[in-house]
Structure 1
Amino acid sequence: MPFSIDFLDDGRVLEWEATAYGAVATERDDYAPRFYVAARNPEADLDLRTLESVYDQHPDVAATETVARRPGFRRDEETVLAVDVAHIDRVTPLARQARQLSDYPVGDLACYNVDFSREFRYCLETGVDPTPASELSTLRLSVPVSETSNDVYGELSVAGDTVTGSPTDILTAVQGALEAYDPDVLVCSTSEIVPTLYEMATDAGVDDFSLSRWPDVDYQQLASRSTYSSYGRVGHSPARYNVPGRAIIDESNTFFYGETNLDGVLDLVSRSNKPVQELAWASIGNVLTAIQICEAHERGVLVPWNSWRHEFYKPMGTLHDADRGGFIFAPEVGLHENVHELDFSSLYPNIICTRNVSPDVIRCDCHSDREDVPGLGYSICDDRGYLVDVLQPIIDARDEIKAAIRHEKEQDDPDEDRLVELEGRSGALKWILVACFGYQGFSNAKFGRIECHEAINAFAREILLTAKRQLEAGGWRVVHGIVDSIWVTPDPDVDDENREDLETLATEITERVEIRLEHEAHYDWVAFVPQRESDAGALTKYFGKVSVEDEFKIRGIEARQRSTPQYIENVQRSCLEQLDSTRSPEAVLRHLEKTIERLHAGEVPVEELVERNRVTKPLEDYSQNTQNVAALNRAREQDLAVHPGQDIEYVVVDDENSSRDRVALAHESIETYDPFYYETQLVRAIESILSPLGWDRTDIKRELTGERQSGLVEYNSAPNK
């Protein structure tokens, strides 16, 4: 089972298999990638013979044949044209040429199985399983931020050891590590390390330097860098490179490796047929699509190049009813004691599987008289949808992994390596399950359908309302609920002997809705935070003390925000501990005052004040002199390339300054910081903690300056809003 597949310029393919004695390459010279051409609509008249004769004369076409395939889940088998291509790089150009033929007598055609990534296509078409048969060896190469724009590195971390000196010194250290570790995977802080090392070797006259395991090819560039926008968020995709015989994981361009670990990546490799290197750079949607494509392939269904599914007709009233999200109960602002959190296990994926919600069966023609979706009247076919077959194995696998994690943690001497593996795998599967719902409403999803998105939300609203009614009937009061979670506390108007056991109620609700309702946590207290400019509760901002455990659950406030400096997070968490132990806002403010004094005394390490913010556009497009602009100006001054979609890290040293001297970049030698700026950030963070108790920023500042009058609001008298 090869863990990596390389494509050479002459058309040969190298399959690399990891063994206990190193990687072994197998050459293939008979592989021809394939795409398909079919009528765009089943009733369209497509002249396949003319099209076939055109392709047979093309120098990039290896062969053609007419075969029977399904151009869609809602279409039966039809005669389509299969086009075998001489080289994998020519698939997309040939498909583009086919589109142009739609303007001629050939007919209205569509292309299928076109835009697959290279290694994934190979595994799909040849039946190769890219799951490594042996453990993969790794080697990490990391370059400091200050070196990233240099053509020659003066410093490089190799397997955790920092190497400095001449290019020859650095290249020798890298070559020595390659010989010592013989890595199957190169983990790079940035993929630009690959071409830079080769350029250094050329300039230094080091002829025998090579990262590659194949003597004839050093490296290949697979894609150039690009900036993109998705749902209003700017992202950056760096250039991608390939080194024959080794998979590259670019730490600046990997989601699953960054959010989980190599075990999580390998678990998804086995489910998606995307080898390690492609899985590492792929997005959640990309991996989910690959798993769906594998299921479609098993069913003989082709994959459209572009999604052109129209939205089914529906009356205006149905449009209004369908255009809603999950059900949300507005949180009761304030601090609530003795709170229990209940969560539906993988609610949206389980709705898909228990209600058979799938693009190929929603609003089917054969059951158009039925109203299976509550409130919308959509029908769902009795035939099992393909999406159920995609998700049910993942749901079952994650349940098994979570059970194994619980079992391991209950042991007197838990196996930490085993826990790391299980948690990595569980985290990877979690992200796939999280994304499967939203992807149904994504306009570019290969197999998504907006009616699925609407139906899932409709079922979810009904399920949460059912749970609310049953919990309240059992003597519990709902203080908050959002999508798949619900928080309850004992109803004070119900006697304890008349209140039903919460575990029993959860079991009854589970049986009724056919999705497991789990007791997530018991809290000594939970505080729901108001919105900044309103008394209404913020839907996703809350914090609470977990009962019996020495931990807090925090959502939405500064300690969970990626841009928050470490010092601000530490102070906010320590103030939470003060609130828990003293139940006094004044005690929290006394602790805050001490941290502010330490801040003004210059005792806070500057590395704990680093902010990380995303760059959303080129420097020239900013109209205000923000901190990001100051940081970008400093980066440009140092010839550091920071592209839209990337993060920039800095410390605020003089917030009143409007020039680049307002901040210092995190990698610079920083001797001072702006204490007044960070004091403001601290006050804002503590406002998040005390606002549920009736304190706002003005109250906090008055207390800190000694201007607040006596009669302060005490914890026990603070109203629950």
Structure 2
Amino acid sequence: MGPDVIFGYNSNKFDMPYLVNRANAINTKLQLSKYGTPPEQSVYGHWSIIGRAHIDLYNFVEDMTDVKRKSLDYVAEYFGIMKRSERVNIPGHRIYQYWDDEGKRDLLVKYARDDVVSTLELGRRLLPYAMQLASVSGLPLDQVGPASVGARVEWMIMHEAYKMGELAPNRVERPYETYKGAIVLEPKPGVHRNIAVIDFSSMYPNIMLRYNISPDTLITNGAEGDYYTAPEVGFRFRKSPRGLYTVLLQELIEARREAKSEMGKYSEGSPEWVLLNERQRALKVMANAMYGYCGWLGARWYIKEVAESVTAWGRHLLKTAINMAKERGLSVIYGDTDSLFVTYNKDKVDELVGEINKMGFEVKIDKIYSKLIFTESKKRYIGLTVDGDIDIVGFEAVRGDWSELARSVQERVAELVLRSSVDEAVKYVRSVIDDLRNYRFTLDDVIIWKTLDKDVDEYKALQPHVIVAKRLIEKGYMIGKGDTVGFVIVKDGGDKLTQKAYPYIFVDDVKKIDVDYYIEKQVVPAALRILEVFGVNEAILLGKTG
């Protein structure tokens, strides 16, 4: 077998380094390349296999905001490849038990087969997009996934600069600096019904095109001629000729338009249609990433005034849209960068959308929520769409030290509040607390996973996961920067949390778990992030009210 493409899932960070280290440990040749050589670490953290394209699919899934859970079993289910209920699922930290127990090895084989099938089918779905992203950016197919968004854009710009006869600047280190960003309105906490989300399509790229914003069109002296002046900040940009950024953006937009037009010649789902669809998607992704590149300090073409002007025009545009909405009697519930949440009145909202489109900026109704709940924090809400889908925004990334139990509690509370009632959500949380107090849970439910972002000896503050790593090292485990450690909080050990944090593999009985910690510091806080909007407090969840 001599494949041209090898798919993996998190293979850059796990499979390849593990296989290389294991082969070295047992003095065996790992002959994966076409020339019988082992994988070698390359740029962007990628593991290169000479003569073959090694594609880590996880790199592409990482960019998909709609996919909330990134593990292979959830991703395969999301893409309709394999339902979680129809496959073997073994937690990664339990695999060794299935190997050690001969009676469980058949399950381990089935688990591995399900993973292989999921990875292969996921690769078949994502390969066309990866190919088009590589084509647009100019990066090799096997490197475009692990490359940062900034790196992808920069390679694309360098190719364009070469065509225009422009010399790419050298990369330089710059001191950290900030500039005023987008508008994010204070939300109106509570329950809102019948809310429309009005979204500006590619707001920042369109602003850059409209006002010819580019490093080479910025006027830095008193030069004469026609120019655009950015609101608030006052920076000026020549109206002509077109700049590097705007020429490239126009090419991306026109190429996307051509791809979408070509799609109409083929039946949906045909190989030609799929390839063109992925091409137009890659072109859109790269165009939308242009502004982010403007504000990246590591960019070769970084100029603060360029990024600052784009956000200034963005703020001006959103403020204009807010005033137009209010003039039509629409209540503005929330606003964030390029979207507005307003009370939905079909005629008034349609009129608003039409008027904004006349200004030269494309807007559309992105979603309509039948029920929407905001907390007091920005960028954090849950909503039930008119199609019956649930959106949970801003909660999943709040805490990096939550157990799986806490995460599942929050998701279930959100669903109950939106589909049923607050009382049902409170009842559910109380049942979870009761299960904890009576030890009706598994050890896997309460494991907390944290990644070491530096070597253990480099930490000055001894956080729980650092203490856990030290305990593992004392027992002979090799733990270092980049490793993820799993731990639980036990009853004994001391008064401080660090003293009670132990590697989960050292704990063999759930009755050793400090259930009070999980109730007070995990379950209750996770639930209250949503329920406190309704006046629910800790005492109510713990059943301490009279």
Cα distance between partner residues in 1 of 2:534 and 2:261: 39
SS across alignment from 1:328: coil
Give the direction of change, closer, same or farther, for the CA distance of 1:250–1:370 in structure 2 (3 Å limit).
closer
Q: CA deviation at 1:445?
A: 0.9
Per the alignment, residue 210 of structure 1 pairs with 31
1:683 aligns with one of 504, 513, 524: 524
Q: CA deviation at 1:290?
A: 0.4
Task: Tell which structure's C-alpha radius of gyration is larger.
Answer: 1
Cα distance between partner residues in 2 of 1:552 and 1:430: 26
- Whether the 8 Å contact between 1:364 and 1:380 is mirrored in structure 2 is no
- Whether the 8 Å contact between 2:462 and 2:498 is mirrored in structure 1 is no
Give the direction of change, closer, same or farther, for the CA distance of 1:367–1:540 in structure 2 (3 Å limit).
farther
Q: Find out whether 1:620 has 2:457 as its counterpart.
A: yes
Shifted more, 597-606 versus 355-364: the winner is 597-606
Cα distance between partner residues in 2 of 1:323 and 1:578: 41
Give the direction of change, closer, same or farther, for the CA distance of 1:505–1:290 in structure 2 (3 Å limit).
same
Residue type at the aligned position of 1:275:
P
Q: CA deviation at 1:605?
A: 3.5
Query: What TM-score do the two structures reach when normalised by structure 2?
Result: 0.75
Query: What TM-score do the two structures reach when normalised by structure 1?
Result: 0.58
Per the alignment, residue 245 of structure 1 pairs with 51
Per the alignment, residue 510 of structure 1 pairs with 357
Residue type at the aligned position of 1:528:
F
Cα distance between partner residues in 2 of 1:423 and 1:632: 46
- Whether the 8 Å contact between 1:344 and 1:515 is mirrored in structure 2 is yes
- Whether the 8 Å contact between 1:664 and 1:670 is mirrored in structure 2 is no
Cα distance between partner residues in 1 of 2:152 and 2:17: 24
1:324 aligns with one of 168, 180, 201: 180
Give the direction of change, closer, same or farther, for the CA distance of 1:581–1:304 in structure 2 (3 Å limit).
closer
SS across alignment from 1:340: strand
Per the alignment, residue 540 of structure 1 pairs with 379
Give the direction of change, closer, same or farther, for the CA distance of 1:660–1:570 in structure 2 (3 Å limit).
closer
Give the direction of change, closer, same or farther, for the CA distance of 1:633–1:400 in structure 2 (3 Å limit).
farther
Residue type at the aligned position of 1:440:
C
SS across alignment from 2:486: strand
Cα distance between partner residues in 1 of 2:390 and 2:288: 23
Per the alignment, residue 173 of structure 1 pairs with none
Q: Find out whether 1:599 has 2:436 as its counterpart.
A: yes
Q: CA deviation at 1:358?
A: 0.9
Give the direction of change, closer, same or farther, for the CA distance of 1:427–1:615 in structure 2 (3 Å limit).
farther
1:555 aligns with one of 386, 393, 417: 393
SS across alignment from 1:509: helix
Q: CA deviation at 1:377?
A: 2.6
2:235 aligns with one of 359, 365, 378: 378
Cα distance between partner residues in 1 of 2:477 and 2:270: 40
What are the equivalent positions in structure 2 for 1:420-569 lying under 5 Å apart?
Answer: 432-433=286-287, 435-489=289-343, 500-512=347-359, 514-530=360-376, 538-547=377-386, 549-558=387-396, 563-569=401-407
Deviation string, structure 1 residues 285-324 (Cα, Å, up to 9, x no partner):
111110011101111222233348999xxxxxxx9xx942
Cα distance between partner residues in 1 of 2:400 and 2:263: 27
- Whether the 8 Å contact between 1:631 and 1:648 is mirrored in structure 2 is no
Cα distance between partner residues in 2 of 1:670 and 1:417: 52
Residue type at the aligned position of 2:48:
N
Q: CA deviation at 1:541?
A: 1.2
- Whether the 8 Å contact between 1:559 and 1:573 is mirrored in structure 2 is no
2:24 aligns with one of 199, 219, 238: 199
Give the direction of change, closer, same or farther, for the CA distance of 1:666–1:649 in structure 2 (3 Å limit).
farther
Q: How many pairs does the alignment contain? A: 478
- Whether the 8 Å contact between 1:652 and 1:677 is mirrored in structure 2 is no
Cα distance between partner residues in 1 of 2:262 and 2:370: 28
Gaps of 5+ in 2: 65-125
Residue type at the aligned position of 1:678:
Y
Cα distance between partner residues in 1 of 2:202 and 2:165: 29
What are the equivalent positions in structure 2 for 1:6-155 lying under 5 Å apart?
Answer: 137-140=5-8
Shifted more, 427-436 versus 282-291: the winner is 427-436
Residue type at the aligned position of 1:527:
I
Deviation string, structure 1 residues 384-413 (Cα, Å, up to 9, x no partner):
11112333444566688899999x9xx9xx
Cα distance between partner residues in 2 of 1:404 and 1:611: 49
SS across alignment from 1:596: helix
- Whether the 8 Å contact between 1:309 and 1:449 is mirrored in structure 2 is no
- Whether the 8 Å contact between 2:5 and 2:55 is mirrored in structure 1 is no
Cα distance between partner residues in 2 of 1:558 and 1:609: 17
- Whether the 8 Å contact between 1:479 and 1:488 is mirrored in structure 2 is yes
Deviation string, structure 1 residues 102-150 (Cα, Å, up to 9, x no partner):
xxxxxxxxxxxxxxxxxxxxxxxxxxxxxxxxxx5435498xxxxxxxx
Q: CA deviation at 1:198?
A: 4.8
Deviation string, structure 1 residues 658-689 (Cα, Å, up to 9, x no partner):
59874455677854344322223111111111
Cα distance between partner residues in 2 of 1:436 and 1:668: 49
- Whether the 8 Å contact between 1:264 and 1:426 is mirrored in structure 2 is no
SS across alignment from 1:520: strand
2:207 aligns with one of 347, 351, 363: 351
SS across alignment from 2:380: strand
Residue type at the aligned position of 1:458:
A
Per the alignment, residue 338 of structure 1 pairs with 194
- Whether the 8 Å contact between 2:187 and 2:378 is mirrored in structure 1 is yes
What are the equivalent positions in structure 2 for 1:623-662 lying under 5 Å apart?
Answer: 623-637=460-474, 640-644=477-481, 646=482, 648-654=484-490, 657=493, 662=500
- Which of the two has greater helix per residue? 2
Give the percent of matched residue pairs that are identical in Structure 1 and Structure 2. 23
Give the direction of change, closer, same or farther, for the CA distance of 1:507–1:671 in structure 2 (3 Å limit).
farther
What are the equivalent positions in structure 2 for 1:263-282 lying under 5 Å apart?
Answer: 263-282=128-147
- Which of the two has greater strand per residue? 1
Q: CA deviation at 1:250?
A: 5.5
Cα distance between partner residues in 1 of 2:40 and 2:2: 22
Per the alignment, residue 448 of structure 2 pairs with 611
Cα distance between partner residues in 1 of 2:205 and 2:476: 47
Give the direction of change, closer, same or farther, for the CA distance of 1:262–1:219 in structure 2 (3 Å limit).
same
Give the direction of change, closer, same or farther, for the CA distance of 1:199–1:582 in structure 2 (3 Å limit).
closer
- Whether the 8 Å contact between 2:9 and 2:56 is mirrored in structure 1 is no
Cα distance between partner residues in 2 of 1:579 and 1:464: 31
Gaps of 5+ in 1: 1-20, 24-135, 143-185, 224-236, 312-318, 491-495, 531-537, 710-721
Residue type at the aligned position of 2:342:
V
Q: CA deviation at 1:650?
A: 1.4
